[in-house]
Structure 1
Amino acid sequence: MSTKALALATQIRHLASGAVRPVAFALLLWAATAAGEIPIPGTPVPITLQTFVVMMAALMLSWRQAGAAVALYLAAGAAGLPVFAGGGSTMSLLGPSAGFLIGFLPGVIVTAMLKGRGRADGAAGTALTALRYFAATLVGGVAVVYFFGFTFQSALTGVPFMTVATASMGFVVGDLIKAAVASLTAAGLLRLR
C-alpha cells in the first residue's frame, strides 16, 4: 500500500471513529426519552434521563463531538422523527419544552469546554476530576439549559420567568443527582482507561 493510500485510510478511519461517538450519544438521547417520563405537577415539562445523557456526552466527548451529538438529536426531531419525550418531534421544538431541548446544545458545549482535562493519576486526581466535572455540569448542564428552558417557556406561555422557574424547582434536585452521578461515572471511566 502506498504512503498516500495509507494516509487516506488512516484519515478515513479517524473520521469514522470521530463520527461514531456523536451518533451513539444521539441514539442514547432518544433512548433516554423512550425509557419514559415522569410528569411534574405545575409544569408541562416532564422529567426524563435526557439531561443525564447530555451531561455524560459533555464529559466523555470533545465539545465538538458533544455538540454534534445534540445537534444530530435535535435535527432528527426537527425532521419529524419521534425522538423527544412522549414520542414528540417537530412540534416539541415549538412547545413548552422547546427551550430545554434547544438549551441542550449550548449546555453540552459549555460543559465540555469547562470540564478541563481529566486526571487518572490516583484517587486524588480522580476526585479532583469528578469535582471539576460536577462544577462544569452545574454550569452547562443545569444553569445554561435551565436559562434557555425558563426563557422559552415564559415567552411561549406568557407566564412570568420567575413563576416558571419556581414551578420548575422540582427538576433541580433530580438534575443535581444526575450531575453528581454523571461526574463520578465519567471520572471513574477515565481512570479505567
Structure 2
Amino acid sequence: MTQLAHPTLARTLVPRSSLVRDAALVLGGAALVALVAQVEIPLRPVPVTLQTLAVLLVGAALGWKRGFAALAVYLVAGAAGLPVFSGGTGTLLNAEGALRPSLGFLLSYPFAAALVGGLVQRYALDRQPAGAALAMLAASGVIYAFGLTGLGLLTGLRGEALLTAGLTPFLVGDALKIGLAALLLPGAWALVRRR
C-alpha cells in the first residue's frame, strides 16, 4: 500500500501530534460544520446549507483519519440531541417523527471528508486550485451517492423526481462551494509557506 506522504494543512500548522491536539482538531472540525449548518435556505425535502463546504475543508485540512473522526463526532452530537444540524435541530428525525430525508447526505459526510483528506495526503491536491477542486468533486460524488440513495429510500422518490428533489437544486451552489474551497486551501498554504 502506498504511503500517504504529504502532510495536511493541520499537520503542518500543528506538527506535534498528541491525543489532546488531535481531539482539539477533531472537535474544531465538528464545530465548524455545526456552525455553517445554520446558514440555511429552507427547501423541501432537503435544505440548502453550507455544510458541504465545511465538510470538504475539514477533510482536506485534517486528513482522512481526523476528517472522518470530526464528521463522525458531528453526527453523534446531532443524534444525541445537540442542535448541530440545519435549522438548529439535533435529531435524525423530522417533525413527523420519521427519519429525515437528508439522512443519506448526513451519513455521507465522514466518508466524503475521508476521501478528500486521503486524496490530499496522497497527491498533495490541496496545493493548487485545480487539484483541490478535483479532490472535492470526487468527495461531492460520495455525498450525492449516499444522499440520493437515502432520499429515494426514505421518500419513495424515483427517477426524475428524485433528481429534482436531491440533485438539481444543489448543483450550482455546490459548484460555487467547491470553487471557494479550492481557492481557500491553496491560499492557506501560501500563508503557511510565508511563515
Aligned twin of 1:44:
45
Q: Is the 8 A contact 1:150 1:161 kept in 2?
A: no
Q: Is the 8 A contact 2:45 2:102 kept in 1?
A: yes
| Residue identity (%) | 36
Aligned twin of 2:176:
177
| Residue 108 of structure 2 is aligned to residue 103 of structure 1 | yes
Q: Is the 8 A contact 1:59 1:183 kept in 2?
A: no
Q: Which runs of 5+ in 1 are unaligned?
A: 1-11, 121-125
Question: SS of the counterpart of 2:41?
Answer: coil
Q: For 1:1-193, what aligned pairs fall within 5 Å after superposition?
A: 14-34=18-38, 36-40=39-43, 43-92=44-93, 94-115=99-120, 116-118=122-124, 126=127, 129-140=128-139, 142-167=140-165, 168-193=167-192
Q: Is the 8 A contact 1:44 1:96 kept in 2?
A: yes
TM-score (norm 2): 0.81
Structure (1/2) with the larger helix percentage: 1
Q: Is the 8 A contact 1:154 1:161 kept in 2?
A: no
In structure 2, C-alpha distance between the alignment counterparts of 1:56 and 1:145, rounded to whole Å = 14
Q: Note the C-alpha offset of 1:89.
A: 1.9
Residue identity in the other structure for 2:83: P
Q: Is the 8 A contact 2:125 2:135 kept in 1?
A: no
Q: Which runs of 5+ in 2 are unaligned?
A: 1-15
In structure 2, C-alpha distance between the alignment counterparts of 1:13 and 1:102, rounded to whole Å = 28
Q: Is the 8 A contact 1:26 1:72 kept in 2?
A: yes
In structure 2, C-alpha distance between the alignment counterparts of 1:114 and 1:131, rounded to whole Å = 13
Matched residues, number: 171
Q: Note the C-alpha offset of 1:87.
A: 2.0
Residue identity in the other structure for 1:96: P
In structure 1, C-alpha distance between the alignment counterparts of 2:123 and 2:17, rounded to whole Å = 25
- Does the C-alpha gap of structure 1 residues 130 and 162 become closer, same or farther in structure 2, counting only changes over 3 Å? same
Q: Note the C-alpha offset of 1:16.
A: 1.4
Q: Which has more radius of gyration?
A: 1
TM-score (norm 1): 0.81
Q: Is the 8 A contact 1:26 1:70 kept in 2?
A: yes
Aligned twin of 1:6:
none
Q: What CA deviation, in whole Å up to 9, does each residue of 1:156-176 have, x standing for no partner?
A: 111104421233311111011
Provide the alpha-carbon RMSD of the alignment.
Answer: 2.0
In structure 2, C-alpha distance between the alignment counterparts of 1:50 and 1:31, rounded to whole Å = 9
Question: SS of the counterpart of 1:30?
Answer: helix
- Does the C-alpha gap of structure 1 residues 110 and 119 become closer, same or farther in structure 2, counting only changes over 3 Å? closer
Aligned twin of 1:5:
none
